[in-house]
Structure 1
Amino acid sequence: MPLWRRIADDIKTAIAGGEWRAGDKLPPESDLAARFGANRHTVRRAVGTLAEEGLLVVEQGRGTFVVEETINYQIGARTRFGEILRHHDRRVDVEILAVEDVSVGRDIANPLEIAAGTRCVRLQVLRRSDGQPLCIADHWFPGERFLRMAELFAETRSITRSFEALGIADYRRRETQVAARLPKTWEASKLEIPRTRPLIVTSSINEDLTGTVIEYGVTRFSGDRTAIVFES
């Protein structure tokens, strides 16, 4: 067996054994060369092969990383973030980044179907999956009906359970739009990704069972950690 292939297999074994986990950065080529008793060209070929196989990703100027598991984020009539991650056997952690009482402009008022200048609660959160940052989300809740939303979310860490506490037993997704862009500096920092890694951005409208809009949300997902799946 060629040396480069043996090195590739040894790296695979190390990853499978937990020495390097999803998202971890591998040591520099020089360190790997010393570890495996090979020159850097041979190590580079082994790493390149594993990158072609989808196990590693080489980022120019940053290094080589173990590819992170992609989560299928299903969007349908009843999209629930926590349920999706629990279906993947993932632990969900939520950090509240900002809470404010705002008078919204037309960009937020229009999807909420309210007048510009209406008082709303804005909630910005960072969601993690098994400790790894997955997305940043901004949620807007319209009018007097949702003045307790920030307080309830701080207790429940769940939009769905907060709605239930307000007497909204069920709700559904009316619309979702998907786009992509590069992250801003602060977004890349929070998501622990380089600024060259694209974001998947979803804009969504949720309504109660009477058809009244109860939330408008904009979520930025790390593009290499998430696949958006639309239910048919």
Structure 2
Amino acid sequence: MCSAHLSGKGVGPYASGAARTVSRVGFRDIADGLRRAIEAGEIGADRSLPSESELMDRHGVARMTVRRALSLLEDEGLIEVVPGRGRFVRAGDGVPDAVRVEKKYEQVVDEVRRLLASGEVPAGGRVGTAGEVADQFGVSPGTATRALVLLAAEGLVTPVHGQAWFAGDLGAEANRTAAVAGRLRAAIAQGRFPVGRRLPGELTLAEEHGVARVTVRRALAVLEAEGLIENRPGRGRHVLAATVSDE
């Protein structure tokens, strides 16, 4: 009888939806499963390997068995321990992916700085959500967020309503933008602006809310990012949702 039987899609216990039946799992079986997951790209940059406790529970083995499996992968040069962070896949150049993530985060900072300095994103302009920045530069949302937080500390960007980031240090303007976005969001939820309804123009909204037109423009950009409204060229901004869920 074989020491372990793994069934399902992909690479055994690390594939989504995989079924698993384990019997007398040895350290080599655990190492093989991790190796396949790494080769398939299921464990790579931005993700540490499962902890020793997780592997113990997953395979029903003692900690020593798990450690022998991890030591085997370390000896093979496939993974490396990053002090205080866990075990990560070693990059092809001998640098662990955990360190490579740091470089990606710095690259995003440099790229956004360049966009701001070149005027491609003007002062007060919408930089995007962390997810949008992540997609733009091919990194994880967490890496993008770290970059944006650093840029905010330098006064280069400001978060509005905890979702979209805008160029420049908006100060109290960020709070005003969030407040206007909140009022418009509530008006949509309450049916004041039903589905398909065209919103009042920026100038009208600015006068109604007692703020600058640019503040209204940022607030509308937040609602567009949330999918509540859309800007139809030549026709203004229209409502896409009748209610807003807090779920």
- TM-score normalised by the chain length of structure 2: 0.30
Greater helix proportion? 2
Q: Look at both structures and tell me which one has the larger radius of gyration over its CA atoms.
A: 2
Higher relative contact order (CA 8 A, sep 6+): 1
Greater strand proportion? 1
- TM-score normalised by the chain length of structure 1: 0.32
